[in-house]
Every structure is written in structure tokens, then in C-alpha cells.
Structure 1
Amino acid sequence: MAPDREPPRALPVLGEPPRALPVLGEPPRALPVLGEPPRALPVLRETSGVCPLDCPDACSWTVTVRDGVAVDLRGRRDHPFTHGTLCVKVNQYLEHTAAPDRLRHPLRRAGPKGSGRFERIGWDQALDEIAERLDGIRGTWGGEAIWPYWGTGSLGHLQGMRGPAGARLWNVLGASEHQMSICSVAGTEGVRLATGTKQGIDPESLAHARLILLWGVNTLTTGHHLWRFVRRAQNDGAHVVAIDPVRSRTARQADEHCAPIPGTDGALALGLLHVVVALGLEDRDYLDRHTLGWSEFRRRVLEFPPARAARITGVPERQIVELGERLARTRPTAIRAGMGMQRHAGGGAALRLLACLVGVTGDWQHLGGGLSYSTGGSFGGDLAALRRDGLRPAPVRSLAMSRLAEGLLELDDPPVKALFVYGANPVASTPNQHGVRRGLAREDLFTVVMDQFPTDTVDYADIVLPATVQTEHMDLHTGYGHLYLGWNEPAVPPAGECLAPTEIFRRLARRMGLTEPSLYDSDEELARQLLSSDDPSLAGITLERLRAEGWVRLDHAPDEALFKDGFPTPSGRLEFVSDAAEAAGLDRVAGYTPAREVADPGLARTHPFVLVSAASHYFLNTIFANRPALAKRAGPPTVAVHPEDAARHGLVDGLEARVSNDRGAFRALVTVTDAVRPGVAATTKGHWSKLTGGPGVNATVPERDTDLGQGPVYHDNRVSIEAADTVREEGLGRT
């Protein structure tokens, strides 16, 4: 593929310097008065990059720069997945990076923790203080008293969490290991138990499917580029089903909407399989050749006739039967599963079942069939070389990011004495919001936050470090919803005194006097080390090629089924039964694990609503919540309830309500709509408390684990909803 080219330039007159063409749409310039010196026209150039945000699409983009300023951002038209478009959020990315509240200089706390009061300092002061405090903590408490806490603010392999940035420094210091548990881990581990890998089918192959189950995913909000391939299949006659407790944007465009009670997806999967088996339409040849434990799993399936599945899920029995019959007779069938459906006590088991479901029907063997949860396992880069875990002086403890409050308030062997936060806003995004705030308010906790904007978490920092944005640094990206590598070339200089995360860690290592040579590798050296793998997926891909072309497809055949030669499991087969699951204390046979609070009848009487907090169409997790234009379009926090529930509980449209349980509460405006099923309340995540004036949805979310991977249980959360003026607020701020 040819590299991006600059726009064509007019031929110069002999003897004159070449002139850059003006940008289309600029007002005409006045001709110079005779005798005045000629005015130089603006110089334009284009730089290829990648969106860094937590979205499966990892869009490839082009930045147009005029006289050193980024003036235009657009999706690359030649990218097969981006296809020339960005999302409603990222269309405003350049305005976001130039916003007046952008952090541009290092800061030191000048008021109580949480007050957001700071004074400006220089980089020398900031790094000296951080180095001195970290050295002192190591000397007194040991390296494990330091918790490097990173999130998905960037998915870059160099500057973000894929590497992750700073890993080598934390390994040398012997810091506690940060466990990235907050997003997709339960589902990833569940899929791995069945298939041996977290790798799913190429999402582009959904264009070949004839039945598509969009299971727990709102594609048009959380990764809209996939919809082009779904629509192509739909136009060719495919039947598209959205399985979601809420009639989302995506569900409104599907052929059918199936609305299970949150956390009951595993029971629904077993009910559908019961129909397939009852019809005798399981793929027996495929089961014999490519699966392990079918007889045991078949007995599990027969325990869930449609009537039982209907009682558990709330889905009408007739719909289960009809969809099961369609599933039995339609090849290929593809499942696109989202992260939201695995955020409960049985989330890992649910994804394990979905991987098994398309094994019973034999769909893994067909192009366009199988399960797409993540393509993360498709990239064979040398992640071990990037992280260098061997630099640790000894094994260290692992701390789950979804249990931050517990880690800050309860650990004592050793206690967490230093927290270094980057690419994350845990005050707004982590369970047990009140506990997180209490932990961050500890005067004996030294907290450094590296960020681009003054988030809720920044307010608790002792030192704030200003980080570059994507248009200002070098990075390499893979998507978790497609099979393309993307290169991000810096387009403009950093704003103010901002530094790239990799450079911040290099400078901090130098201030601490660390001598490990790999701590000082340049960004280009890091990229080369990552791409030095001999994995087949990187065949023919070099850094030079990637920088020249901007994006390259991983070397996976686009016209073949993923596991045509078997599965990377111990048996080489799709495993309905798993020794690894049994060793972890789980059911050896794939099956349904109920969500804890959802399935608790006593709790249902006191807190009648199951609360789901989905992604906002206008925020990306908590990113963009401070953009006035997007915040205006998103509106204030709302909570949607079904008309039957509204009548039962005295709730009306526009009412300011208090959504609460024993853990906490937040305020929201009621929306009465049949887009949610009875018994479910739906809100969106991402609001900053400092902008809404009170606690957010995570004040109500428990700090408990999923069945696999220590993931969070955002959707295993029961609440009550009452008019805000009828209850005592107990110091809670207004939203």
C-alpha cells in the first residue's frame, strides 16, 4: 500500500520558491499592494495516526497540520475497517486536545486532598519529589508498597496499557503487579477455557453470516464500524438479533430484540441449545471430530428446557423456541458478544457457554460462523520483551484494579503507601466510589496522577504530571475488534510542558539513579522490540513498512474459518469440559452461574431494580465528559424505567430521583420508557462527580469479583428508586 501523500502543489514559476496550495474552503486572500513583500501561504502536511481510546475499532486517522497546528482530523478512507469515518466523540478530538482545561504543566497539591487546589511547579521539582518519596517508601516498606495503577485511557502498546507503559520501571522497583481486571477479563477467561485462547473470529467475517446474535453489545454506540458488515449480511438475508435487557440503538436496527434479565444470558444460551438438541440438529460429525466432553455437556443442556430458561431469563418461552429453531437450521451463525454481559458473578461462565454454543451447531468450521468477543489474541507481538517481567527482583503480589478501595483501606502487609495513576480515572470509573474516595483521602498515601485533564481523580493527587495526547506522541496500536496494526506518528509538538508517558518514566528512572539499560530505550526501540517476534501474524511486517503505510493487516487469511485445524486447548479440541476450570474450583462442565444480587429474591423485595450502567453514546468511559458540547448532548444523569415499574413506584418522566442501596446513592432524572424491560433500571456511565455535583453510579456498585479473573460486577447490582425530595440525603451532593 502506498504511503499517504501530501496534497498536490502548484508548479513554481522559475526562480520562485514553491508555494503551498491554500486549504479548500478558506476565504480568498487579498492581493498584495505593489511594493509590499509577498506573504507566505500556510504550509500543509498530513500525518497518519490511530485513535487510542478504549473501543474495539482502533480507527486509523489522518491529521492535517497547518503551520504546526492540527486543523483537521478524519478517518482514513483506505482503511478497510475505519472506512473514512470516526465516531461522534472522536470527531471533536482536536477541539478536546486544545481545550482550556487541558493540563499543561506539573502541579503540586496546595489544599486538602480532594479539593483540586494546586500550585504550578517545574519538572525538576516534580521528579525530584516523586523520586525521593518512592525511594523512601521502598526503603521502609518495600517495593510492593507502590501500586502503579493504569487504565484504558490509551490502548497504545508504547504509551498506554497494552505494553504497558512504565512496566519496566515498576518491575525494577519490585512494585505490586497491577491486574487489569476492570473491563473484559471474566469473559476472556471464560472463552479461553473453551477454546484455549481469547482470540475470536474476524469481525469482518460477520458479512458472511446468515444468523447474527449481537449478544450484550450496543454496536452502534460502542464500535459502530462493525455495523457495516452486519448490514451487509442483513441485506443479503441474514437475520440479526439483539440480545440486551435494553432496546438500544442497535436493537432498534435489528430484526429481532430479545430482552433477558441481566446476568441470565447463560440460561438463555442453554435454553436455545435445548431446542437444537431436541430437534436432533446438533452437528454430530463436528462434535465427534472437534470437541471434548459432548456427552457431559449434552446432559447439562437437557437440564434447561425452554420453559425453565424462560422462568430464569424473563424471555417468553415462545421466543426461545423460535430463536432456538432458527439457530438449529441456520448456517453460518455468528455471535458478537459485548463486555457488558460478563460484568456479574457468572460472567465468565456465560462467555464460556457462548463459545460452546457455536460448537454444538458446528459454526466454528464455517467462514462467518463462531464467536467474536475480542481479537486481542490475534496479535503475536513480543509483549514479554516490552514488559520485561524478568526485571523483578522477586515475585510480587497482584492487586486487582477493580478492588482499589479494599487495596487502599485494608491491605497491611505491606500497606499501599504510593499510588501512581495513569490512563485511569478510578474515582469515576471504579466500584465502591465512596470507599475509593476514602482511600485516596489518606494523608499518608503519596499519590501521583499523570493525565491530560483535571479529572475527579486528579483532585486527590499530591503531584500531577501533564501527559501528551495522541497527536503529540509516537505509538503502535492493535484493535480488539479487527485485525489491523496501526502506527501513530506525532503530528504536532506537545502542548505546554506535556511529556509522553514513556519519556516521563525514562526521566523518573534517571532521577532515581536506576542503571538498568532497558529503562532508557527510545520509543522507536520499544516498537522494534515489540515487532521482533517471529509469530506468523507478523510475517512481512516491519516498523519501516508500518510507518510508511500507516496500517497493515495482520497475516491472517480473510477467507478461512478461524479454527479449521483445531483449537489451542490441551486436547486440541473445543472443550465443553475443562480440567483447568476444575483446578480453579469451577464446574468442570460448562454451565450457568447465576448473578448474585440479581438472583437474590430477598434482596429483590428491598431493592426491586437491577441497575445496568451502559456506555454513553457521547463519552468514552469517562473521557469527553468534560467537553461542553458532548456533555450537553449527553444531558444530565438519567435512569430509565419501564412504565409498569414507574406506576408501581410513583415515578414519572423528568422526576429527580435518588437511586440507592446500602452502599450509596446518586441522583438522576427519571425517563419512563418501554425500551427497558420490567424490573430493570438503565443508566449510563462516564459522568464526573465534580461536574454533576454529586456521587455517580459507582457509588452503588459492590466491590465483588466475577467468577473468573477478578472482574467487576457492575451489572450485578440491585437498587431502589425514589423521588429525591421524599428521602433524607445524608450529605450526598445533588446531580
Structure 2
Amino acid sequence: MHSTATPTHCPYCALQCGMNLAEGGPHGVEVVERPGFPVNRGALCGKGRTAPAVLSSRVRLTEPLVRSPATGRLTPAPWEEALDLVGDALSRARAEHGADACGVFGGGGLTNEKAYALGKFARVALGTSQIDYNGRFCMSSAAAAGQRAFGLDRGLPFPLADIPRTGCVILVGSNLAETMPPALRYLTELRENGGTLIVVDPRRTRTAEQADLHLAPRPGTDLALALGLLHLVVADGRTDERYIEERTSGWEEARAAAMAHWPEHVERITGVSVPELREAAGMFCDADAAMVLTARGPEQQAKGTDTVGAWINLCLATGRAGRPLSGYGCLTGQGNGQGGREHGQKADQLPGYRKLTDPAARAHVAAVWGVDPGSLPGPGRSAYELLDALGGDVRTLLLMGSNPVVSAPRAGHVEERLRSLDFLAVADVVLSETARLADVVLPVTQWAEETGTVTNLEGRVLLRRRAVSAPPGVRSDLDVLHGLAARLGHGKGFPTDPEEVFEELRRASAGGPADYSGISYGRLREDDGAGLFWPCPAEGAGAGGAVEDGGRREGAGAGGAVGDGGRREGAAEGAPRGTPRLFLDRFATEDGRARFVPVVHRAAAEEPDAEYPVLLTTGRVLAQYQSGAQTRRVDELNSAAPGPFVELHPRLAARLGVGEDDPVAVVSRRGRAVAPARVTSAIRADTVFMPFHWPGEGRANTLTHPALDPVSRMPEFKVCAVRLEPVEEVRPVERS
């Protein structure tokens, strides 16, 4: 390792792979292996390895931009002028139309400090309820299902290192080989250790190719599949009755709901054969320990909460939750998708994962902020509902770290809503498609240029350290919020130093479900920066009277969630690490029991018909990330994945008369997208797939359906009805 290397973390997915940054390379800094970090053990995908390319001034913003009234173009402007314009627009909207005329939209890539400060800014400086973030589009359904069943949401309630040591994993709607490549080793090691892997995906992905059993259900039918497996478990007498009696509630109702989904019925719904269903149920139950891991496939549906709930019910019925090497977990997608939703940028939450409607939570956080609890607004709109309201009663929007022009469902409509605003301000690293629509664009620091904490998919809180200086003219998001708050009459309470913000976050989170009060920058710098797992209350205190004694939390912590309380994996590993494993003693519900929730299958919001006879599902490719705003600026990644495509089965291609690389139009009730065909037998014949990383005529989210899950408010990204049309030449996309 270079003697001057700075330990930090990849800016992309929720693995938050450890890396070192050292001087050198074409961009002034280069990635160096960091084998001591336990999550990736030195391994990186191409995105992480090439991340320094986005630090280049050639591809990123280096000065504020203001839209000229004379030309309508974005032109460079001084920082104070740009901040004055934003502050004036927010003040004017609030004065003329009320506080809720000001909207705030955040991102799952913001550090914990930024997410916390953004939520505080919205509720204190603006007084608006209209704040949400793009993490609503990530794992909100899994979060809602986890809250219902366990009383607590943490993506993985156990470390990734437990996966190779279990007996069977059902991986639902995740293509780790392309979305989180360094994590694939855990599944490889699982099989090397004699465990089995079941992958549920309508496509035979690179991950599915590693499986002992691949189930390819029709998109939108994961709920029926899970219920069918639970039916078989009950019918075959393989439930864990003692566990159900001692550690759960609500089983009778959930069992009755599952028994309505007999195997032949489920086969007709899903397309998965009865023998395959029986094989999957047997593999899961035969293992001494087992896990279900879900990702966006089952979650990004208008019934995503119930779908995840059905998989949780399967775990509970077989005694596979809150036990060593067993459980349900969600593979969070965005870099700080976990921490980003814990500290206040969600429409219904306060820091520490507290509920905005809870009077005690409001009083605690208000005391930390030095405001009257009554001054805090109530819950606002969820992400899509907020975007849909733009230009109506929401007149002005401050957007940080998100690109909804590409990433939102029904994206053409969302683009129109953004254009209809009285004023749009965007703080970002690059001039994204959304930033191009703004009245003011503020250039902000990125991962390697700032210090801050993030929380990965395991609930592991990590310190990302500043390794390089930002270009002149670039400020941090904390500086932006400080400057705007001052212009709104709040000269104090919005510090720019991330450690000072984190110290306040610790106090605000103390006693909440996501208790960070025992975490400090000093502790995070220890032990090669391996991180601390929340809940991690301060010594001698905690939620519900929980105390931390030598790392062992006794009693009911974090609303009753008790795990191994920070017992380390090995006696010689040093100081406690918070709570790596949740629920080993009790669940985070009032009575300590996990709750079965009865669910039944229902159709997608939009099923195929004569006019739109094919199903569309969307996802990611290896070389690009999310809306592509950053990765599309890296030459090496663009060479590997230069543009969108439509993946379709040979039989469907033959009916259309479409060959490999021929342009094909995909048309839904919301718009039309055009991209080259990729013909493969790795997808169902009734389904097409498009990656969602690109704007323009190949924008997949032009087509997707905005139907929302009634609990999580997650849009139905993963299934909608389309028709395909061969085209002789590419035409501009139609927007609706």
C-alpha cells in the first residue's frame, strides 16, 4: 500500500467497498487495493476502480450556473449571486403561497450528515412538509415490510459474512453479478461450503447461472410464488411450530391466506412449474439454516410491501429469522440508501428513524434543534407524489443528489412537471439531465473531496475520508445549506463541518430505532475503519432503557430490538462493534414477537392485453450505475456499456421480424422508447427487459408505471404492459 494512501469507500452501491486513494494516475489520484476492509476484502468492480475519473474537472461542475433571462441559457455566476437567487426564490414562494410551496428532494447517495442537514433545513429553515428522496424508489417496500414484521428496518440484520455459512439462500430479484459484483463471492463461497442457491428472476442472468435452481416467474408474480412455497411448507408439515408459538404472532391468518395459493394455481399465475416449486421448498427446508434475500425485483412493485412480507412469512413459518445464520434481508441498492432514510430526508421521518407523527419523537428532535415541537410540519408527499405535484401547489424545488428526469417512473411526465416549476435549484457534482432544467445549478463536492459517514446495506456505519481537494469554485452541500439557511433567517444551526453535524445527529438519534449515539468519528477511525453496526447507543444509555456493557446490550434496545449486542466475531478482534446481528433474543416489536402479516396475490397495476401484449421489466447493467449521471462520463465504462438496449426472446423477435441490433420501439400507455434489440433465450418469451441508465429516446422510465404501493409508496418500476414495433430509423421519443 502507498504510504500516503487515504482509506475511503467507493461512491456507488450500498456495499460501500473499501478502497485506498493514493496520488497518481491520469486524474491525480488512483484507487489502491484495501484488503483489510471486511466487506469486499480488496475486490472492486469496474465502477469503483474508475471512480476517480469523475473527479476530473473535464466532466464535472466547477462553478455555479445561473439561467440568463436574456438568452435562457445557463451561464457561470459568482457563488453569492447564485445563493441569493435560490434564497430569494424560496423566500418568495413561502411568503406568497405558504411553506409547503417549497419542495425539497434528496438522494440516497448523500452522506448521513447531508441527509440529516437536508431534513433539518426543510423542516426548520423552510418549515415545509414537502420533502422526500430518491431512496423511496430503492428499498422502501422492503423497509415497510420489515417494519411490519420485525418492528425495525435494517437492510441486512446480519453481516454479509454470515451468508457463506448458511445452508440455503433464496435470492429474489437480484443480479449481484452485475449490480454488486464483489458480493457475488459470498454466494460462491456458500456453494463451496456445501450450501445451495436458489435464484428467482424472469431472466437467466449471470447470477442465475450460478444457482442450483433458477425459478423464472412472470414479472409481477413474486407474491404468488412466495405464497405457493409457504403453502407447500404447510402442506408437507415442515413448519417450525415451536418457533411460531414462542416467537411470532398472527400465524393463523397468514397460514389461511397462504393455503389459498395451491401449487397448480401458483403455476398458472407465475409460469413456474409445480415440480420446481416443490424442489425449491425442499431445498429451503432441508437446510439446517437458510436465508431469503430480496432486491428491487420483488420490491419495485405496487404490491412490493406485501410481496416482501410473503417472503418474510416463509422465513418465520420455518423458524428462519432471529436465529444464527438464518433470516430475511434486503440488498439495499444506493450508496447510502440505508443511512439516507434514517435521519430525516424521508417525508414521514425524523432522525434516528423516528416517526414524524410520534409526539415523543418530535419533542426529542425539537429539543436537539432548539425549536418548538409544534413548529415541525407533519408528513408530506412521497417521492413520486411530490414530483407529480411540481408546478401545482409546490412552486419551487431544491434538489440535491438526484436525477429524476432519468430515474423517476413516467419520466416524460416528471420532466414536464420539473419544467413547470416557478424555480428549480439543483446541487450536484455533474450537469445531469435534471440539472440542465434548473434555474440555478450549484457545484458540490463529491466522495473523495469530503469527509462524511455512510451506512452500508449491513447497517455498518463507515467513515469516508477526504483524500483530495475539490477544484476552486466547488463547495460542499453542507456549505450550500448553511448559506441558504442564513438567507432564510437561520444563521445558526447549520454547521459546515461534517463532524460537528454528526455530533448533533448522534444526539438527535439517541434512543431512536437507528441509534447512532455511541458512534463517533474517533471510533470509526479505529480498526482499519471497519465500521460500527447500529443500533449503537452511548454507553450507559439507550432506547427503552437499554445499556451497553462491554458491547453486550441488555434489555430492550431500539424499540425492543436486541441482537448479539455487538459481540465480535472472534475474541481477539478488539472493541465492540455495535449490533452486527439483530433479533437473536427478541424482535423490535412491543411484545418482542415477529408479526405474520396475511397477504394474498393480486394482479399488477397494468396487465398485458391485445393492444399492449408484452411485459416490460427494467434493471441495471454492470458498467453503469443508477441514472448514469456519473458513470456515463467515464470512457472505460461507456465502452463497456455504450447505450440502452431491448432484450427479447428469439420467438418474440421472430414474430416482429427483428434481428440483433435492429432498432425496436417499445411503446406503453405513457410513451415510446427506441433502442437496439438484443436477442437472447435468457429471458421469458412474454417479457422484454430494458436497462434504465440512459436519457433520451432510449429512456426506459418513459414507459414505466407510476402506480404506488399503498404502504411504501414505491412505484411499479418492474412491470408494465407494452407493445413492440420494428422501426426503420430511430425517431424521437414521445413524452406524455
Q: TM-score range with shorter-chain normalisation?
A: 0.7 to 0.9
Return closer, same or farther for 1:362/1:507 CA change in 2, 3 Å cut-off: same
Q: Does 1:49 align with 2:8?
A: yes
Q: Does 1:704 align with 2:707?
A: yes
Aligned to 2:722: 719
CA distance in 2 between partners of 1:469 and 1:660 (Å): 37
CA shift, 1:513, in A, is: 3.4
CA shift, 1:733, in A, is: 7.5
Aligned to 2:16: 58
After superposition, what is the alpha-carbon deviation per residue over 1:202-246, rounded to whole angstroms, capped at 9, x for unaligned?
Answer: 132112211111111111222233322222221011111111111
CA shift, 1:512, in A, is: 3.3
The amino acid across from 1:512 in the alignment is: L
Return closer, same or farther for 1:722/1:67 CA change in 2, 3 Å cut-off: closer
Aligned 8 A contact 1:695 1:733 in 2: no
Return closer, same or farther for 1:498/1:166 CA change in 2, 3 Å cut-off: farther
CA distance in 2 between partners of 1:512 and 1:298 (Å): 55
Aligned 8 A contact 2:35 2:43 in 1: yes
Aligned to 2:83: 127
SS state at 1:710 partner: coil
Aligned 8 A contact 1:403 1:431 in 2: no
Aligned to 1:140: 96
Return closer, same or farther for 1:557/1:451 CA change in 2, 3 Å cut-off: same
Q: Does 1:465 align with 2:442?
A: yes
CA distance in 1 between partners of 2:75 and 2:252 (Å): 67
Return closer, same or farther for 1:490/1:431 CA change in 2, 3 Å cut-off: same
Aligned to 1:171: 124
Aligned to 1:552: 531
Once the two structures are superposed, the pairs formed by residues 398-417 of structure 1 within 5 Å of their partners are: 398-409=380-391, 411=392, 415-417=393-395
| Identity percentage of aligned residues | 26
CA distance in 2 between partners of 1:111 and 1:687 (Å): 30
Aligned 8 A contact 2:102 2:130 in 1: no
Aligned to 1:630: 637
Aligned to 1:94: 52
Aligned to 1:371: 328
CA distance in 2 between partners of 1:319 and 1:340 (Å): 20
CA distance in 1 between partners of 2:633 and 2:139 (Å): 25
Is 313-322 or 187-196 further displaced after alignment?
187-196
Aligned to 1:668: 675
CA shift, 1:104, in A, is: 0.3
Q: Does 1:292 align with 2:297?
A: no
Aligned to 2:483: 507
Once the two structures are superposed, the pairs formed by residues 582-593 of structure 1 within 5 Å of their partners are: 589-593=598-602
Aligned 8 A contact 1:52 1:156 in 2: no
Aligned to 1:441: 419
Return closer, same or farther for 1:521/1:678 CA change in 2, 3 Å cut-off: same
Structure 2 unaligned segments of length 5 or more: list them. 333-337, 344-350, 355-364, 534-564, 570-579
CA distance in 1 between partners of 2:614 and 2:102 (Å): 39
Q: Does 1:526 align with 2:479?
A: no
The amino acid across from 1:508 in the alignment is: L
What is the TM-score of this pair, normalised by structure 2?
Answer: 0.84
Aligned to 2:617: 612
CA distance in 1 between partners of 2:501 and 2:117 (Å): 11
Is 396-405 or 259-268 further displaced after alignment?
396-405
Return closer, same or farther for 1:522/1:268 CA change in 2, 3 Å cut-off: same
SS state at 1:350 partner: helix
Aligned mate of 1:262, from 189, 214, 219: 219
Aligned 8 A contact 1:182 1:712 in 2: yes
CA distance in 2 between partners of 1:723 and 1:465 (Å): 42
The amino acid across from 1:47 in the alignment is: T
CA distance in 2 between partners of 1:546 and 1:246 (Å): 40
CA shift, 1:132, in A, is: 1.8
Structure 1 unaligned segments of length 5 or more: list them. 8-44, 578-588
Aligned to 1:157: 112
Is 715-724 or 73-82 further displaced after alignment?
73-82
Aligned to 1:251: 208
CA shift, 1:169, in A, is: 5.1
Aligned 8 A contact 1:336 1:372 in 2: yes
The amino acid across from 1:565 in the alignment is: D
The amino acid across from 1:499 in the alignment is: R
SS state at 1:140 partner: helix
CA shift, 1:300, in A, is: 1.8
Once the two structures are superposed, the pairs formed by residues 617-696 of structure 1 within 5 Å of their partners are: 617-622=622-627, 623-689=630-696, 694=697, 696=699
CA distance in 2 between partners of 1:576 and 1:296 (Å): 8
SS state at 1:440 partner: helix
CA distance in 2 between partners of 1:65 and 1:231 (Å): 34
The amino acid across from 2:272 in the alignment is: V
CA shift, 1:370, in A, is: 1.2
SS state at 2:321 partner: helix
Aligned 8 A contact 1:109 1:118 in 2: yes
CA shift, 1:129, in A, is: 1.5
Aligned 8 A contact 1:106 1:123 in 2: yes
The amino acid across from 2:197 in the alignment is: V
After superposition, what is the alpha-carbon deviation per residue over 1:259-300, rounded to whole angstroms, capped at 9, x for unaligned?
Answer: 011111111111112222222111111111112122222222
The amino acid across from 2:183 in the alignment is: L
CA shift, 1:703, in A, is: 2.2
Q: Does 1:496 align with 2:455?
A: no
Aligned 8 A contact 1:331 1:363 in 2: no
Greater Cα radius of gyration, structure 1 or 2 = 1
After superposition, what is the alpha-carbon deviation per residue over 1:73-108, rounded to whole angstroms, capped at 9, x for unaligned?
Answer: 234211111211222112111112115131100111
Aligned to 2:35: 77
The amino acid across from 1:528 in the alignment is: E
Return closer, same or farther for 1:144/1:717 CA change in 2, 3 Å cut-off: same
CA distance in 1 between partners of 2:423 and 2:208 (Å): 46
Aligned 8 A contact 2:121 2:485 in 1: no
Return closer, same or farther for 1:176/1:294 CA change in 2, 3 Å cut-off: closer
The amino acid across from 2:6 in the alignment is: T
| Cα RMSD for the two superposed structures | 2.8
Once the two structures are superposed, the pairs formed by residues 723-734 of structure 1 within 5 Å of their partners are: 723-725=726-728, 732=733
CA distance in 2 between partners of 1:483 and 1:320 (Å): 32
CA distance in 2 between partners of 1:238 and 1:69 (Å): 43
CA shift, 1:534, in A, is: 5.5
The amino acid across from 2:584 in the alignment is: K
Aligned 8 A contact 2:126 2:488 in 1: no
CA shift, 1:571, in A, is: 3.7
CA distance in 2 between partners of 1:537 and 1:421 (Å): 27
SS state at 2:461 partner: strand
What is the TM-score of this pair, normalised by structure 1?
Answer: 0.84
CA shift, 1:450, in A, is: 0.8
After superposition, what is the alpha-carbon deviation per residue over 1:676-731, rounded to whole angstroms, capped at 9, x for unaligned?
Answer: 11211011111132xxxx2511111122212322111111311111102399x5x5
Aligned 8 A contact 1:653 1:670 in 2: yes
After superposition, what is the alpha-carbon deviation per residue over 1:381-419, rounded to whole angstroms, capped at 9, x for unaligned?
Answer: 85675995967735256122223552125x3xxx22111
CA shift, 1:328, in A, is: 2.6
